[in-house]
Copies of this chain bind each other. A is one copy, B any other.
Amino acid sequence: MDPMTSSALHTPRGPVTRKDVARYAGVSTAVVSYVVNGGPKRVAPATEAKVQDAIRVLGYRPNAAARALKLGSSETLGLIVPDNSNPFFSLLAHAVEDAAADLGYALVLTNSDGNLAKERRNIRNLAARQVDGVLLASVLFEPDLDDLEKADIPSVLMNHGREAAGFNSIGVDLAAGARIAVEHLIGHGHTRIGLAMGTNVSGEVDGRERGWLEALRDAGVPEGQIVHGEFTRPGGHLAGQRLIASANRPTAIFASSDMQAIGILRAVREAGLTVPGDIALASFDGSVESEYSWPALTTVEQPVRAMAEAAVAALVGAGRGEPAQHRIFPTQLRVRQSCGCP
C-alpha cells in the first residue's frame, strides 16, 4: 500500500490519533496502546510490526494530555527558584532537569524573582498543572508551607537549612561549611574577619553566621563585623564597600555566597586594595564563576548535582512514598587564591 495515499486517506484532518493507527493497522485501539506502552498485555510479533509500521507511516505521536488525564500524572516536575539567572540556581536547574529526564519527567521552570507573592502563585500554578512533584527553592529561609500543603503535591524543599515537619528537604550543613572556611582564613593568620551575610528573613540565625562565629570563638579571635546584603553581585559590592569603609577594616572577609564575593572583589579593587594582599576572601557555593574570577575564589562547594538527584528521587524515584526526611549533604572547601594560598 502506498504510504502517501494511505496517509492522505487516514489523516484527512488534524493530528493522528490512536484510532487512526488502529484503523490503518487493522487492529483495535487497545492493541495500539499495548504496543506503544509495551504492555500491560503482550502482542503477537506480527501484529506489533503492523502497528509500528502504521505509527511510522502516519507519524503518530501519543497525546500526553490524554495520557495525563487518564493516569492522573503528567510526568512533569515543577521547579521554583528565586532567580534562574543566578549561577547557583541555573546549575541547580540543569542538574534537576537531567535527573528528571533520566526518569522520563519533564521540568517546568518558574522564577519567583525574590518575590514571595510570585512564589506562592507559582506553587498554585504548578499544582493546577498536575505536576507530579515540586522542588521549591524558596525566597524565604522558612517558606510558607501552607501553600505547599494545600497543593497536596509531593514536594521537596531545596537549599533548605533545617527540618520542616512533614516535608522533604535538602540542604547542606551551612554552619560546618562556613566554619571550615573561616578556620582556613584564621590559619592564614587573620584576626579581623568580617562577614558578608545575605538578607535573612527568618527569625533564626543563618547557619553560615553561626559557623563563622563559632570558628572565631573557638580560635579565640575577636568577633568580626557583619554586613547584610542581597545574594547578588551588586549586593556583595555594597557589602564590600561598607566593610572596607568601616573603622576597623577587616583583613579577611567570609562571604555567604559566591555572587557576593564577586561583588566584594570589585569593591576591593575600586578601593585601590588587593585580594588577598590587603583583604583575604572566602565564600560559599562553589559556582563555576568562582573559578574564573581574579583572583580565583576559595569557596565552600555545595554538591549541587547530588542534591538535585536526591530531590528528584525523593519525588518520583526510589524514595517516592518514603516518609519525609531532611537530608543534609556535605560541603567541601575548594582552596584557590582569594584566601592567600599560592
CB within 8 Å for A128 and B64 given contacts A101-B110, A150-B59, A294-B269:
yes
Q: Are B98 and A130 in contact (CB under 8 A)?
A: no
Decide: A93 near B84, CB < 8 A? Known: A69-B65, A106-B108, A108-B107.
Answer: yes
Partner of A90, one of B74, B90, B124, B233: B90
Q: Which residue of B lies closest to A294 (CB)?
A: B294
Tell whether A68 is near chain B: CB-to-CB under 8 Å.
yes
Query: Interface 1/0s, chain A 81-103, versus B by CB < 8 A?
Result: 00111010011011001100100
Cα–Cα distance between A62 and B263 once the two chains are bound (Å): 45
Smallest Cβ-Cβ distance to A91: which chain B residue: B85
How many copies of this chain?
2
Chain A interface (Cβ within 8 Å of chain B)? 15, 59, 61-66, 68-69, 74, 76, 83-85, 87, 90-91, 93-94, 97-98, 101, 106-111, 124-130, 150, 152, 233, 262-263, 265-266, 269, 288-289, 291-294
Instruction: Indicate if the CB atoms of A93 and B109 lie closer than 8 Å.
Output: yes
User: A130 contacts B233, CB within 8 Å?
Assistant: no
Q: Which residues of B contact A110 (CB under 8 A)?
A: 97, 101, 106-107
A104 → B minimal CB distance (Å): 9
Given that A110-B97, A233-B288 are contacting pairs, would A63 and B130 also be in contact in the complex, using a CB cutoff of 8 Å?
Answer: yes
